[in-house]
Amino acid sequence: MIPLSYILILSAFLFACGVLCIATKRNAIGILMGVELVLNAANINFVAFARYVPGFQMDGQVFAVMVIVLAAAEAAVALAIILNFYNNRNTVDVDEANQLRG
């Protein structure tokens, strides 16, 4: 049996990597990948608790399925926005998205 804390530390590591990815990448698609990493980290936690906490078995899995579905939806919308931005500005560098600065 795998100790619960090992799985939680793995998910913490994935979360930190996701945050670093979001912080350092300028490419909008790179940022999207960081978000996917963060969501996966959260999902690992849900599934781990579903495995080890008796009262949370069903809820944990339901949460994880919801997160997977919403992550797919988020990626689709974000990609649509990025493609639209690319059509207008010919780049996906998020530093260029400064039209609202005035």
Q: Work out whether 10 is an interface residue with another protein (CB under 8 A).
A: yes
Establish if 40 lies at the interface with another protein (CB under 8 A).
yes
Contact assessment for residue 36 and residue 15, using Cβ atoms and an 8 Å cutoff: no
Is residue 52 close enough to count as binding another protein by CB under 8 A?
Answer: yes
How many Cα atoms within 13 Å fall on the side-chain side of residue 90?
0
- Verify binding: residue 99, another protein, rule CB under 8 A: no
CA torsion, ordered 47, 53, 56, 61, to nearest 10 deg: 20
54 makes contact with another protein (CB under 8 A): yes
Judged by beta carbon, residue 95 or residue 102, the one nearer another protein is 95
